[in-house]
């Protein structure tokens, strides 16, 4: 591939259904996205090392059998684990949205090693999960989010943003209080659900009951981001559900900044 381009691999498999939306967002930010089925990676028809950004988009991979994202997580961990370690060790980026976040958490990619001892040993494993919403039903609604922490992906996001959610298993639960404390201490919480003014949410502002209102987290480097809400579904201003009532503020919506940040980081640090 042309090394002058920002190459994005958007991983898909049976049940993925948000891959083209993610590709649209990256393409509009000047990157070169490519939709790749996981079997193409497993058969070595496509090499992960040829890309700068790995995206696991939303959907219901393998029908969310067993539990959401578990089967794809096992494939990544057991069959592509070494390649993923090299990819991230090279300073590259990773983004997981909704089902992609579920996959990354259950594969142990997020939150990743949390302290100096774990980082030296490259030890992580699954330290959190995403379980059934407290409401006991599929939540399909728009939510306000407060950007927090430090991440490559959230640079420049200071105000409350508005993204849709669409999930039945979106409640973020850390393994224990120690993991939660380290997520806070390390600045790994990337987004929290909030009310429209950025304050403490109540249902349905926190649509799933996530611990500490967490909607998304990063690894300790800030280069790996996973979140349940869908920034690719508010990439354009006209995707806002009330856009006709709002004063236009350019062509793009709140989600565009996330994709723009990823592409810019690659251009500044990896090309």
Q: How far apart are CA 114 and CA 123, in angstroms?
A: 9
Q: Count of CB atoms within 10 A of residue 85's CB?
A: 12
Give me the phi and psi of 87, to 5 degrees please: -60, -50
CA atoms within 13 Å, Cβ hemisphere of 37: 8
Q: Count of CB atoms within 10 A of residue 258's CB?
A: 30
Would you call 11 helix, strand, or coil by DSSP?
strand
Marked catalytic residue, from 75, 169, 232, 260: 232
Would you call 85 helix, strand, or coil by DSSP?
helix
The bridge status of strand 171-174 relative to strand 161-167 is unpaired
Q: How far apart are CA 18 and CA 20, in angstroms?
A: 6
- Is 98 one of the annotated active-site residues of the chain? yes
Structure tokens at 151: 């991440």
Marked catalytic residue, from 21, 29, 52, 98: 98
Marked catalytic residue, from 52, 167, 230, 234: 230
Query: Active-site positions?
Result: 98, 230, 232
């Amino acid at each position: 591939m042309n090394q002058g381009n920002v190459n994005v691999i958007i991983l898909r498999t049976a049940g993925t259904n948000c891959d083209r939306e993610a590709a649209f967002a990256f393409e509009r930010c000047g990157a070169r996205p490519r939709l790749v089925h996981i079997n193409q990676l497993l058969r070595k028809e496509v090499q992960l090392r040829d890309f700068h950004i790995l995206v696991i988009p939303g959907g219901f991979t393998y029908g969310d059998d067993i539990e959401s994202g578990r089967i794809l997580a096992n494939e990544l961990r057991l069959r592509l684990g070494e390649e993923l370690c090299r990819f991230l060790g090279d300073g590259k980026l990773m983004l997981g949205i909704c089902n992609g976040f579920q996959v990354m958490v259950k594969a142990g990619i997020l939150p990743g090693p949390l302290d100096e001892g774990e980082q030296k040993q490259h030890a992580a494993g699954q330290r959190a999960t995403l379980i059934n919403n407290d409401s006991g039903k599929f939540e399909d609604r728009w939510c306000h989010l407060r950007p927090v922490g430090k991440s490559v992906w959230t640079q420049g996001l200071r105000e409350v943003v508005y993204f849709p959610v669409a999930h039945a298993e979106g409640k973020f639960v850390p393994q224990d209080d120690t993991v939660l404390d380290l997520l806070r201490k390390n600045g790994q919480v990337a987004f929290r659900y909030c009310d429209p003014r950025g304050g403490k949410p109540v249902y349905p502002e926190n649509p799933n009951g996530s611990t500490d209102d967490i909607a998304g987290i990063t690894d300790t480097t800030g280069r790996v981001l996973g979140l349940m809400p869908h920034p690719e579904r508010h990439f354009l201003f006209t995707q806002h559900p009330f856009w006709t009532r709002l004063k236009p503020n350019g062509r793009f919506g709140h989600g565009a900044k996330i994709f723009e940040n990823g592409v810019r980081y690659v251009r500044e640090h990896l090309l």
